[in-house]
Amino acid sequence: IIDTTVYPLEGQRIAAQTKRRMGLGFTGMANAIEYYGHSYGSPGYLLVADKLFQTLRDEAYRASVALAEEKGSFDLFDQEKYLAGNFVKTLPEDIKEGIAKHGIRNSHLISFAPTGTISITADNVSGSIEPVFSYSFDRTVLVDGLETLEKVQDYGYRVFGVKGKTANECTVDEHLAVLALASKYSDSAVSKTINVSDDVTWDEFKAIYRNAYDMGCKGCTTFRASGKRYGILNATEIEEVEEAIEGGACYFDPDTGQKSCS
């Protein structure tokens, strides 16, 4: 028996081996859905997002069941307790039958992480399940101990010419609707920020968290631009983006994996 309070890294290793926990999610969702004409948080947007979330969840679970049939379940798997879980009860019948017959390889599979840096390295697609932050923003980058300010442009606007609804333009209800929908299909955690206006009242602010709880959200994060904690991303004017595009810009082709610049 290893005292994991004394050896925390050993505890992490044991947890990884006994649970085989994963966290599959998305990035670029807002850019993709808004390309087809559905503004963030709208009824049409939620219909498409629901299908995406459901497909990710179901296919991930089917793959994990198939792996369990081949390699065995995660070490701490208890069939009776696992199938009695509230989240597992929402799975399609064929998946529950598969778990009952073969077990499952991973204790958790779905987690919508922020993907901030990942989305930027993917040519600045919209991050995770978030709306477009800004058509252009300044990002502080640390290179060899020196801070530099880099201008980053939104992929959807630069490549598709789509002005997605930005985080500050989305209403609280639109943010909450996407958060609640993602929570429904996540067996772990959801990273999602709800932007609030500068003139939000205390009662309105508290209501956000009450509503998130009532809607079944697994967590809730808010951001107020005029608050004491300033963000690391700073939006710039749309005219600056257009000037940058006219002056030449780079884009990433997802089919070929090549990056080219005009």
Task: Determine the pLDDT at residue 163.
Answer: 93
| Site of tokens 């069939």 | 79
193-196/146-153 β-pairing: unpaired
Task: Determine the pLDDT at residue 243.
Answer: 47
Is 242's pLDDT higher than 90? no
Is 245's pLDDT higher than 60? no
Whole-number percent of the chain with pLDDT over 70: 82
Is 5's pLDDT higher than 60? no
At residue 173, what is the residue type?
A: D
SS (H, E, C) the chain: CCCCCCCHHHHHHHHHHHHCCCCECCCCHHHHHHHCCCCCCCHHHHHHHHHHHHHHHHHHHHHHHHHHHHHCCCCCCCHHHHHCCCCHHHCCHHHHHHHHHHCCCCCCCECECCCHHHHHHCCCCCCCCCCECCCEEEEEEEECCEEEEEEEECHHHHHHCCCCCECCCCCHHHHHHHHHHHHHHCCCCECCEEEECCCCCHHHHHHHHHHHHHCCCCCCEEEECCCCCCCCEEECCHHHHHHHHHCCCEEEECCCCEEEEC
**Tens digit of each residue's pLDDT (9 = 90 or more) over 109-164:** 999 999 988 998 899 999 999 999 889 888 888 888 888 888 889 999 999 999 99
The mean per-residue pLDDT over the stretch 177-196 comes to: 96
233-235/258-261 β-pairing: unpaired
Give the lowest-confidence range in 65-69, 75-79, 97-101, 242-246: 242-246
Task: Determine the pLDDT at residue 235.
Answer: 54
Task: Determine the pLDDT at residue 120.
Answer: 87
Task: Determine the pLDDT at residue 138.
Answer: 84
As given in the structure block, the two tokens for residue 160 are: 């598709």
The mean per-residue pLDDT over the stretch 62-87 comes to: 96
Whole-model pTM above 0.85?
no
Quote the mean pLDDT of the chain: 86
Is 238's pLDDT higher than 50? no
**Tens digit of each residue's pLDDT (9 = 90 or more) over 44-70:** 999 999 999 999 999 999 999 999 999
Whole-number percent of the chain with pLDDT over 90: 66
Rounded Cα–Cα distance for residues 31 and 242 (Å): 18
Q: Give which of 169, 165, 162, 178 is closest to 220, Cα–Cα.
A: 178
Going by pLDDT thresholds of 50, 70 and 90, the confidence category of residue 244 is very low
Under 8 Å between Cβ of 102 and 2:
no
Give the lowest-confidence range in 62-71, 125-134, 170-179, 230-239: 230-239
Longest dimension (CA), the chain: 64
Give the burial string for 92-119 (b: 16+ CB within 10 Å, else e).
eeebbebbeebbbbbbbbbbbbbbbeeb
Is 14's pLDDT higher than 90? no
